[in-house]
Structure formats: structure tokens, C-alpha cells
Chain A
């Protein structure tokens, strides 16, 4: 199955907001409101930041928010901070046979 499409990189200055897109198809992102987002710092395991499209796990800053329109999901980070610099991956449920598909990842640079 094809990976979800994310921009390779995005950047922003401290305090600004950025949005990372995640484009899938009508078989995954478009069919289910079940997109999750993960943050991965170098040499570390991924961390769940958003699930079911827009829900935040306990302990995740409310500066992180998720949304969806059609076949594209988005992660928005507001009030950028230096520690937000990391790789971000989206993931969508894609039905009981495929199960899930990940995006290729986006490197966020805080200028």
C-alpha cells in the first residue's frame, strides 16, 4: 500500500504557527476520522501527539491540534518552541485488511 503523502520539511520561527499536511485517499484518510500524529526526536521512539483526528493524549500540549478535510489531514503547532523541532509522522486507519498506513514523515525545523 502507498504511504500517506507529507511534505519533506517545514520550518517556522519561535512563536509562529505551522501546519503539516497528510494526504491520503478515499480508502484511508477520507473514509475514517482515525488519523494519528507522532513526534520523533533524533534517536528516540515516536510519541503519540494526536489520535482520532483531533484528540490529544493526556500530557500533550494544547499547542498541538489536528483536523481533516476530505482526504487530507493536518497537524497544526501553534506558538512554536525550540523543543518542537523533530520529525512528525501521520498515520491513518485503512480498514481491517490493510489496517494502518504511515506517512513518509516531515522534518520540522524551528529557525
Chain B
């Protein structure tokens, strides 16, 4: 069974750094792209970026380029999303999701989400 299990909720202060994780299981982690999707409170889905764990090839949405860093450790089947300096506007639910084999935009399996709250 394909599963993506994300790390738990985080409460941080503005300016702090953060790295959240997404562990894949039940499939060949290195053979599928993993994406990150943001959902701000009461709002829609926004694509942030994708990574291919096999070779760490990474693509970012122009809206998030330079704002976050996506990485992966294929030895432990885990993808990461990190911030160096959080802002209040980063408060959101963050989902990781696996791209289908064709890598043409459909996210076929999703993690349960990680809620990030940034508040002073």
C-alpha cells in the first residue's frame, strides 16, 4: 500500500527556521516525483515544487522559488520542505503528494498534511 506520512504540526516564531518531512513507503521512492502543495487557511491549493528523489532534480513554482528549499534523502525514502526564515504568511497546511508515473501533473497519493503556524 502506497503511503506518504508527514511530520507533525509545528508552531514557530517569525524568523525561525523549519524543516518538515514526508516519508514514502509501499512503492519505489526513487522512481516517482514528490511534490509539495500549500493550502492557506480557508484557501485553495497551490503547487510549490517537485523533486525526483532518484537524482534530486528539483523544480520550483515561480511563486515559491527562493522562498523554500525542497530536498530528499533517498536512503530513508523521505522528502523535505524547509524554510530559513519563517514569516506569519507561511502559516498554512502543507501537503506532500506523489506524482503519477507519467509525471504530467496528477498527484495520485497524498500525505495527511503538516500544519505550520507562525506567530509571535
Residues on A close to B: CB < 8 A?
1, 3, 32, 34, 36, 38, 45-48, 51-52, 57, 89, 91-94, 98-105
Most chain B Cβ neighbours within 10 Å, of A48, A93, A94, A104:
A48
Nearest-Cβ distance from residue B114 to partner chain A, whole angstroms: 11
Across the A-B interface, the 6 shortest Cβ-Cβ residue pairs: A93-B105, A51-B106, A36-B106, A45-B110, A105-B44, A100-B105
Size category, B interface: 20 to 34
Is B104 a contact of A45 with CB atoms below 8 Å?
no
Q: Which residues of B contact A3 (CB under 8 A)?
A: 44
Given A51-B100, A93-B105, A45-B44 contact (CB < 8 Å):
no
Q: Of all chain A residues, which has the CB nearest B112?
A: A45
Instruction: Report Cα–Cα, A46/B45, bound state, in Å.
Output: 9
Q: A45-B112, A93-B104, A101-B47 are in contact. List 6 more A-B contacts (CB 8 A).
A: A32-B104, A45-B110, A51-B108, A91-B107, A99-B105, A102-B45
Residues on B close to A: CB < 8 A?
37, 44-47, 50, 59, 61-63, 95, 97, 100, 102, 104-113
Most chain B Cβ neighbours within 10 Å, of A36, A45, A52, A89:
A45
Q: Of all chain A residues, which has the CB nearest B47?
A: A100
Is B105 a contact of A36 with CB atoms below 8 Å?
yes
Is A105 a contact of B45 with CB atoms below 8 Å?
yes
Q: Which residues of A contact B109 (CB under 8 A)?
A: 48
Is A89 a contact of B104 with CB atoms below 8 Å?
no
Given A46-B95, A104-B44, A98-B62 contact (CB < 8 Å):
yes
Is B111 a contact of A45 with CB atoms below 8 Å?
yes
Q: Which residues of A contact B97 (CB under 8 A)?
A: 46
Given A45-B110, A89-B44, A34-B95 contact (CB < 8 Å):
no
Is A52 a contact of B104 with CB atoms below 8 Å?
yes
Is A102 a contact of B108 with CB atoms below 8 Å?
no
Instruction: Report Cα–Cα, A98/B45, bound state, in Å.
Output: 15
Is B108 a contact of A91 with CB atoms below 8 Å?
no
Is A99 a contact of B110 with CB atoms below 8 Å?
no
Q: Of all chain B residues, which has the CB nearest A96?
A: B59
